[in-house]
Amino acid sequence: VLTSAISTPVIQFIVACAMGLLVWLALHPDILAGITPGQFIAFLTAAGMLAKPTRQLTEVNATIQKGIAASLSIFDLLDSQPEEDKGTYSVDRVRGDLEFRNVSFSYGEDAEPVLRDLDFTVKAGETVALVGKSGSGKTTLVSLLPRFYKHTQGEILLDGQPLTSYSLENLRKHIALVTQHVTLFNDTLAANMAYGEMAGADEQRIIEAAEAAHAMEFISKMPKGLQTLVGENGVLLSGGQRQRLAIARAILKDAPVLILDEATSALDTESERHIQSALEAVMEGRTTLVIAHRLSTIEAADRIMVLDQGRIVESGRHDELLALEGHYAALHRMQFSDAEDGPDDNAPPAGAEPA
């Protein structure tokens, strides 16, 4: 912008100086001896006409600069290292038994470990709620499962097989992920639910998934139903609608392992209720790790694990942990004192803003 903003005035300044010089010469005919007035006027006109093409030349420079900037980011992408994928094991469908054996993880070689000595199992079909203060490592823990990051120590087993032995494509086929940040493509609602491996899925299946995710309610109100375009990154959809789409994706994918990152805020009570029932539908019969913020999810979980500074400090059911009067009881008091007093247990935690 700086280059293109400066170039035109600079060129005009130079042209103006040149014209000024010509006019000065015109006022001193003795210097121009040998040139006829006709020649001089022709020269003056030609010089005046030069200004525009010269300015256009500078615009080319702006285009080139843009091209260079764009190609830099393209080459960056081309040069990026492919994900490490040495595994060869692949299986049609896993049961969903998960085991963490002394798993530690840090984001860099010299960085402080974010997860320390995690040691636990999750049986197939079980729902485990992860709770803990922000920054305690919940998101990091669940990102290890689809191998977004590689654990630095210990071993994670899925159905008794180390995660690293699965081929990346096969591993991710078994995992469905619903996070708070839902990425949407500038395409139809249907294509946003059924993409990648599910692309071209039967419309009936998409509708069933959308219904189970309570997404059909808003989709059927859209002008073109499933064929409505969502706009760049889904600008036309609200937070709750986006999340219901993500849940529909997960239902459609029908993966045995489910990772959920519950939304904390930006949802009104109505969406909150819809999402709650949608989540219950999708969790059924799957191994579920859920970063839980809602009391109802936490109470319904088979087990709650409380993370603090990368360690599991408490683990058990809601009542057991409350009775312990430890970390969980304190967290519970902090987050849910309002929700419990009110008539609606599903109300967002204190401090959450309605959308």
Interface residues with ligand ADP (CB under 6 A) are 107, 114, 132, 134-140
Nearer to ligand ADP, 140 or 276 (CB): 140
Report d(CA 123, CA 174) in Å as an integer: 15
SS3 314: strand
Smallest CA-to-CA distance from 270 within 339, 344, 177 is with: 344
> Min. distance of Cβ 139 from ligand ADP in angstroms?
3
- To 5 degrees, how large is the angle CA 301–CA 176–CA 314? 30
140 versus 335: smaller Cβ distance to ligand ADP: 140
Beta-bridged to residue 289, according to DSSP, are 128, 259
> Least distance from C-beta 146 to ligand ADP, angstroms?
14
Instruction: Identify which of residues 138 and 244 has a Cβ nearer to ligand ADP in the complex.
Output: 138
Q: Which CB sits closer to ligand ADP, 253 or 293?
A: 293
Contact (Cβ atoms closer than 8 angstroms) between residue 130 and residue 292: yes
Q: Which two tokens stand for residue 20?
A: 């000024």
Instruction: Name the residue among 258, 313, 246, 245 with its Cα closest to residue 285.
Output: 258
What's CA 272's distance to the chain center, in Å?
Answer: 21
Nearest distance, CB of residue 136 and ligand ADP, angstroms:
4
**In this complex, which beta carbon is closest to ligand ADP, that of residue 96 or of residue 137?**
137
Residue with smaller CB distance to ligand ADP, 138 or 242: 138
Least separation, in Å, of the C-beta of 69 and ligand ADP? 26
- Within a 10 A sphere around the Cβ of 301, how many other Cβ atoms? 22
User: Smallest gap, in angstroms, from Cβ of residue 154 to ligand ADP?
Assistant: 17
Give Cα 310 to chain centroid, integer Å. Answer: 23
3 state SS of 146: coil
> Sign of the CA dihedral 21, 26, 32, 34?
positive
